[in-house]
Amino acid sequence: MNKEKLMHYLPWGLAIFIAIVFVQSLFFKFTNSFETQHIFGTIGEWMAGIGFLEFAAEGFAAYGGYTVGTVELIASILILIKRTQAIGAAIACGVITGAIFFHLFTPLGVSVVIDETGDRDGGQLFAMAVLVWIFSLVILWLRRDALAALLGGSSRSNGQPALHD
């Protein structure tokens, strides 16, 4: 496959992967599954122990899954539309940066409890988060001209053409 074809299909393949990861997680978030309760409850408890975050802890534990799920749904839609793909990737990168932070710097951990018996996922959620993060950054790089145009600037100063497909 030549470079031009690769640059045409790569952002779409990465975008489809991100959308699949986000959309498949919506069932868990929107049904308030045990896993979702555990994840957002653990983070809420952690927030309650930090003075300036205490005010948001209860709401995050109760509604964080719905909120994050809604943002992921919006990102999934935007990332699958060429005109808004860069914005979708930026939203995906932002929300998944938060997920990675919570996995690494809170009691949640990299391997998450997934059921009432205490079984863990072996780091699968974390690994998927890292892939989404990397893929969204790649899309942002490949679509940097579109992102700059949406933000009112231009990232091309050397006269090279923008990535079109």
Q: What are 16-37's pLDDT values in tens digits?
A: 999 999 999 999 999 999 999 9
| Res. 165: pLDDT tops 70 | no
Q: How far does Cα 147 stand from its chain's mean position?
A: 18
pLDDT at 156: 55
C-alpha–C-alpha distance, residues 1 and 79, integer Å: 24
- The pTM score is 0.88
Angle at 94 between CA 74 and CA 110, to 5 degrees: 110
Residue in this structure with the two tokens 């893929």, named with its chain if needed: 135
| Residue-range domain boundaries for the chain | 3-150
pLDDT at 147: 83
| Res. 155: pLDDT tops 80 | no
pLDDT at 151: 81
What mean pLDDT value characterizes the chain? 91
C-alpha–C-alpha distance, residues 69 and 26, integer Å: 6
Enumerate residues 6+ apart whose C-beta is below 8 A from 127: none
What letter does residue 161 receive in the DSSP assignment?
A: P
Enumerate residues 6+ apart whose C-beta is below 8 A from 56: 47
Counting residues of the chain whose pLDDT is more than 70, the rounded percentage is 92
Enumerate residues 6+ apart whose C-beta is below 8 A from 153: none
Total count of residues recorded for the chain: 165
**Which one has a higher pLDDT value, 154 or 134?**
134
Provide the pLDDT confidence category of residue 159 given band limits of 50, 70 and 90. Answer: very low
pLDDT tens digits, one per residue of 64-105: 999 999 999 999 999 999 999 999 999 999 999 999 999 999
pLDDT at 149: 85
